Amino acid sequence: MKLVELIPNFSDGRNGKIINLLSNCVKSFPDAKLLDTEMDYNHNRSVITVVCTIDSVVELAFNLIKIAAENIDMDIQKGLHPRFGATDIMPLVPLEDTTMDECIKLSREIGMMVGNELKIPVFMYERSATVPERKNLENIRNKSFQIEELRSVIGTGKYIPDYGPSVIGKAGSTIIGARELLIAYNIYLNTDDIKIGRKIASAIRAKDGGFAYVKSLAFKIPGKNVVQISMNIVNYRKNPLYRIFETVKSEAAGYGISIIKSEFIGMVPQEAMAQSFNHYLMSNIENTGILVYRQSKI
Amino acid sequence: MKLVELIPNFSDGRNGKIINLLSNCVKSFPDAKLLDTEMDYNHNRSVITVVCTIDSVVELAFNLIKIAAENIDMDIQKGLHPRFGATDIMPLVPLEDTTMDECIKLSREIGMMVGNELKIPVFMYERSATVPERKNLENIRNKSFQIEELRSVIGTGKYIPDYGPSVIGKAGSTIIGARELLIAYNIYLNTDDIKIGRKIASAIRAKDGGFAYVKSLAFKIPGKNVVQISMNIVNYRKNPLYRIFETVKSEAAGYGISIIKSEFIGMVPQEAMAQSFNHYLMSNIENTGILVYRQSKI
């Protein structure tokens, strides 16, 4: 079946009503399935995970972006996480029989509709990027370049949007694009020393010589003596979860601290789970990918 | 969805044509999925794993038993594994929205049809047992009480079948029943000392004071300096896989030996996998059971 995964990130993690509106929108599509919703208060950000058939992708994504634009006011929004707009990013991931090229095409259709009809400036990223510098999200928006910085330079030099006006309204700007499947993974450490967190985040990330498919940042969790290593794993086959976990564990031990817990934001492919399961149990489970094998509750 | 798992055991592990007929029978049901087939030459036994919707269970199970009856001659069949008939056992496991009571009812329908139409004596076991002594398979047939012994006593005392005639034909007798989901799990140790294997198997099994839902035996693997701890885990929620693995690992270390590998026979429920995955990664994956999450190959 031709399926696409959408993992939009919205710049509100505090108002349950907004998440509710977005969820209901997904549920109104018979061929879409809402897999997961996560709200993060400190980041003031929500992530929803949807799988839908290729035919509904454009309409569904557009409707979600519209709802976020109508309900999130970027003029007053604040939070830990870097952001450009109400719908901050809208990634499309090809699943099953869908190809990357199809996802790129769909992402452009969404971008054009959002730019033309909602008058939101749109930047295409990842595999849908129109210029190489926009491939990587961090080159578009990051901790030191967010909506505030974008306002004054949009429409100039590298900040000419792919679609929509060069004007930032209450909905901000939206980043859209097709990308490979990605695992969002956080590990929490029992330290309040962000410097240690930064060293560990640096040790594991590609940019600083770590694992080739890991991006990572360290965050201090406000009000708690805890540091979060926040990661994106863009190729779990090459950089398996257990290996990243064990490396962080070992690095942390070197500073006399340890892991409290870890968490996945959104979904984890069954194959990635089987990979780590097999590592720890020295076992042989194959990921057939065909089976939902749920034991009866009764 | 109301699903049932069937894991019939047939008394032939040498004739590929028979497994083929059985597999094709499963494939002819649009709402059934053949998950696994395993043939064992020495045991002269095959096990197939099928998931199907509740509506097809009776017809599918009956057809499989009929095919086995027509193609396996118990008058001449020989093998290592204890057996009563062509279809030796036909366990039904409730999955997803199916209840145990529904499976018990279905198993009785199958038993009645097999008895009446195929004239095969049927004994109901596990949760479908009509008398407590027939709950446990080992009380019905075992290494010292097989089809040969059954012939002379069938129809008398505890060997009055639940359905069908008290006469053993070429198809032998069939044991049918609903049971809980079970995980078949083997751990291999780098020792040729079966005595150590037996001590470890004893340490973990319910019978000797170990885990309440673990049955285990130790085997020396012929021609290799390896001992196998062979287990059935009848409640993985109460006795999770990682805990059993870690206990065997620790026991083995006490004898100066270690685990080489482990293996699952047949299927592992996603929930059991998630449970161990979460343990090792200190994480939070929920088993939603709704998702086939297969990455695009392209």
Q: In degrees, to the nearest 5, what angle opens at C-alpha A290 toward C-alphas B233 and B40? A: 50
Transcribe A230-274 into DSSP letters. EEEES-TTTS-HHHHHHHHHHHHHHTT--EEEEEEES---HHHHH
Give the residue from B57, B187, B277, B288 with the most A CB atoms within 10 Å of its CB, the best one to mutate. Answer: B277
Q: What is the pLDDT of residue A287?
A: 54
The two three-digit tokens of residue B146, written as one number: 């097989």
Task: Examine the pLDDT at A34 and tell me if it is beyond 60.
Answer: yes
CB A267, CB B287: distance < 8 Å: no
- Between CA A131 and CA A139, with CA A134 as vertex, the angle to 5 degrees is 140
CA angle, corner B168, sides to B62 and B121, nearest 5?
40
When scoring B6, B34, B237, B292 by the number of chain A Cβ atoms within 10 A, the one with the most, hence best to mutate, is B292
Mean pLDDT over residues A124-148, rounded?
94
Inter-CA distances, B154 with B85, B121, B129, Å: 13, 9, 17
Q: How far apart are CA B168 and CA B147, in angstroms?
A: 8
Spatial contact of B215 and B259, defined as CB atoms under 8 Å apart:
no
Of A116-120, A178-182, A184-188, which has the strongest mean pLDDT?
Answer: A116-120
Q: How far apart are CA A268 and CA A255, in angstroms?
A: 29
In chain A, which residues have their Cβ closer than 8 Å to the Cβ of B294? 95-96, 269-271, 289
Q: Which of A51, A97, A262 sits opposite B282 (nearest CB)?
A: A262
Are A33 and B290 inside 8 Å of each other by CB?
yes
Active site residues of B: 81
Which of these, A67, A28, A32, lies nearest to A46 by C-alpha position? Answer: A67
* Minimum distance, in Å, between the CA of residue A35 and any CA atom of chain B: 8
Confidence band, pLDDT 50/70/90 cuts, at residue A288 = very low
Confidence category of residue A290, pLDDT binned at 50, 70, 90 = very low
What are the φ and ψ backbone dihedral angles of B37, each rounded to 5 degrees?
-135, 135
Instruction: Report the C-alpha gap between A221 and A113 in whole angstroms.
Output: 38
Mean pLDDT over A236-259 rounds to 97
CA pair distance A87, A115, nearest whole angstrom = 13
Average pLDDT, chain A: 92
> Per-10-residue mean pLDDT for chain B, 298 residues long?
92 94 96 87 89 96 98 93 95 91 98 98 97 91 93 94 97 96 92 97 96 93 89 93 98 98 83 90 69 39
For the segment A68-91, the average pLDDT, to the nearest whole number, is: 95
Q: How far apart are CA A86 and CA A64, in angstroms?
A: 10
* Nearest one of A202, B110, B116, B113 to B125, comparing CA atoms: B110
B295: Cα within 13 Å, side-chain hemisphere: 18
Question: In terms of DSSP bridges, do strands B2-6 and A87-96 run parallel, antiparallel, or are they unpaired?
Answer: unpaired
How confident is the model over A221-250, as a mean pLDDT?
A: 94
Q: How far apart are CA B236 and CA B240, in angstroms?
A: 5
C-alpha angle B11-B16-B22 in degrees, rounded to nearest 5 = 65
Task: Tell me which residue of B292, B285, B268 sits closest to A268, measured CA to CA.
Answer: B285
pLDDT, residue B267, reads 74
Classify residue B231 by its DSSP letter: E
Q: Scanning the structure block, which residue is given the tokens 């198997």?
A: B201
pLDDT(A249) > 60: yes
Cβ partners under 8 Å of residue A119, min gap 6: A164, A165, A167, A169
- At residue A281 the predicted structure's pLDDT band, cuts being 50, 70 and 90, is very high
Size of interface A-B (CB pairs under 8 A): 141
What was the ipTM of the complex prediction? 0.76
* A157 three-class SS: helix
Query: Whose structure tokens read 């929500």?
Result: A46
A7 and A102 Cβ atoms separated by less than 8 Å: no
Q: Which two tokens stand for residue B197?
A: 């294997």
pLDDT of amino acid A289? 39
Q: pLDDT grade, residue A298 (50/70/90)?
A: very low
